[in-house]
Structure 1
Amino acid sequence: MEYKHFSHQHSLMMYQVQQGQQLRCSGCESYCHDSVYACWPCNFFLHQHCGNANRYVKHPSHPLHPLILLPSPTYCSATFLCNACGAPGNAFSYCCALCEIDLHVHCAFLPPKVTHNSHPHQLGLICTNPADKVDQNTPNCICKICNKLLESKHWAYDCSKCDLFLVHTYCATKEVKLGLYPDDAASDSEAVPQNGCEGQPEVELTEDAVVELYKLQLQMQMADQFAQMMSSFNLTSLA
């Protein structure tokens, strides 16, 4: 059965990845397993959760504005840094043009609750600053699974029963819970705690409007870079 995805010009076909094959998803840039959507002439592949991800969602981590699924970053650098995990990306992302929020697809659909074999209790996702769980003078802490730095500005899983048990999202789980947040509202009963942009009015934007905002953002960034380049050129010529 053919499948048409907005990010690709050709129809895709379902394909079962064979053992030993190394096919990389064009949506999240990680390796594919099980069934994928495939366009062999273009070497284009999508995990099912990337291919079926909603075009836009209202995510509880950013409740004021919709997050729009874009096939590639609109920044001049052609890349983005995920606000959830901190890792860079240059393919699919959920974005808020107004607040410059960018999420990997798999980070946008992290399950609110997970279990891990290294800990006896259930862990809950926190999208607020993990440092809020620690003393205010401690900006960062250590992941209890990998024993590496867990930066305060990124999301984490924590245990409500144990003091300061915090872990990276990617250390806690690889699960993607697609469909967790509907297009028009995040109604899941276990929704993640909200932390929107304080002081900003709630705005309802259409998908086309948000895409246009991203185009405007790109133009402004290009104009700013050009102005800086010209300023540097003028100063050099006067020296």
Structure 2
Amino acid sequence: MSDSKGKEVSALKKLGVQVQKGDHYLCQEKQQGVTKCKSNGQTLSYQSEEKAAVVTKIGKSSTTTVSLFQRRVEETIHHESPPPVKDEITHFSHRHALHQYKVQKRDKINCNICEAEILDKAWSCESCKFFIHKSCENIPQKIKHKSHLRDTLTLRSSTNYACGEFTCNACCDSDKGFHYHCSPCKFDIHVACAGLPSAVNYQKHKNPLTLCYDFPILSSETVKCKVCDMKINKKGWAYYNEDSKFIAHVYCAVDKKKKDLILAIQKRLQSLQMK
């Protein structure tokens, strides 16, 4: 018997496996694959190695005994570097690079894209007084909207109309800045209007209000908003409940928490993005 075979037999005997004359045995090594998991910026790798003895008894049909006599598990920790933090970006609408900007409460800065107030971090070109929410960086440039199913709407930073302004088909306000536009139809809506939710729960009304792109009340009389008591333009959109006949301007009905509204608008815009 060779030295290696003698060592294998000794290892088996320590485990209570008796090798008798005529038995066939084989020592095997088995190495398992690497398992990785991440925790606190680190990657942990586990690799196990097993050694086994396979003993086949002669005279008994297909009886095999397997005994492990050594097991080793290796653990390796890989330190990963955090992804680099961007300190500047480019945006299709502005000729200069935009840099990180920390907005202070006293600043009172509105986003050039969605026009809502910026409450925290922003991308900015300070020399041009151009500021956008960090979350507005990736607002889609083309969307398909339920209010205008015939054509794709394209994000524009200004208008080509001779008067220098556009009138929003949603809220009916005139503006000069960012908006979604359809050239053949001369259809324009603010970025924020494009992202308005299809239904809202107004705090002083028990039933949900549905966003209507066509005016829901057929009447020649003046219709007033149930929230602010001001006239509603019948050419624009409104939130309405058929059962209660409750109607409101689009921005009278939405959540007054500006930060929540901004996030809701941006999330809806992403869902409208052309794939």
**Please, what TM-score do these two structures have when normalized by structure 1?**
0.69
Are 1:172 and 2:253 counterparts?
yes
State the Cα deviation string for residues 130-155 of structure 1 (Å, max 9, x = none).
2xx32x34254110000000111110
Instruction: Name 1:184's counterpart in structure 2.
Output: 274
After superposition, residues 1-239 of structure 1 pair within 5 angstroms as 1=86, 2-128=88-214, 130=215, 133-134=216-217, 136-138=218-220, 140-162=222-244, 164-173=245-254, 175-176=261-262, 177-180=265-268, 181-184=271-274
Larger Rg, first or second structure (1 or 2): 2
Structure 2 counterpart of 1:18, one-letter code: Q
Q: Aligned partners of 1:55 and 1:149: how far apart in 2?
A: 33
Ranked by relative contact order (alpha carbons within 8 Å, sequence separation 6 or more), the top structure is: 1
The alignment partner of 2:192 has SS state of helix
Identity of aligned residues (%): 34
Structure 2 stretches of 5 or more lacking a match?
1-85, 256-260
Aligned partner letter, 2:199:
K
Q: CA deviation at 1:178?
A: 1.7
Q: Return closer, same or farther for 1:97/1:139 CA change in 2, 3 Å cut-off.
A: farther
Residue equivalent to 2:12? none
* Bigger share in strand: 2
* Letter paired with 1:142: K
Judge which range, 48-57 or 25-34, deviates more. 25-34
Deviation (angstroms), 1:160: 3.6
**Aligned pair count?**
180
Instruction: Give the aligned CA root-mean-square deviation in angstroms.
Output: 1.9
Instruction: Name the amino acid aligned to 1:178.
Output: Q
